[in-house]
Amino acid sequence: MINTNEILAKGIVPDGIIRMGIRSRLAGVLAPFEKLNCEQRQAKIMQHIAELKASPLAIATDEANQQHYELPTRFLRKF
């Protein structure tokens, strides 16, 4: 099975392809909203916002920290 995260982490996928994937995924997320009337859609959106606010700000922080430590000091000094 193809691990999308590993492929993206290698930096070999062009930005245009990544954007197409993001748009496709967002379209799938938003598709159920299209079938709702205005009030139902607003209620679902507000529910989604509430869920986002209740979720953690960051996930997988240990993995992110590990990736940052893999960067050479020379790279970080440029920033």
Cα 75 from chain centroid (whole Å) = 25
Query: Is the distance from CB of 50 to CB of 58 less than 8 angstroms?
Result: no
Q: Model's pTM, two decimal places?
A: 0.48
List phi, psi (to 5°) of 4: -60, -40
* pLDDT tens track for 44-74: 889 989 999 999 888 888 887 777 777 777 8
Q: What is the pLDDT of residue 69?
A: 74
Question: Rounded to whole angstroms, how far apart are CA atoms 48 and 53?
Answer: 9
Token pair 């967002």 in the structure block, residue:
26
Q: Model confidence at 21, in pLDDT bands (50, 70, 90)?
A: very high
* pLDDT tens track for 35-45: 899 999 999 88
- The domain tally of the chain equals 1
Token pair 């009337």 in the structure block, residue:
37
- Model confidence at 27: pLDDT above 90: yes
List phi, psi (to 5°) of 54: -85, -15
The residue range of the domain holding 35 is 4-77
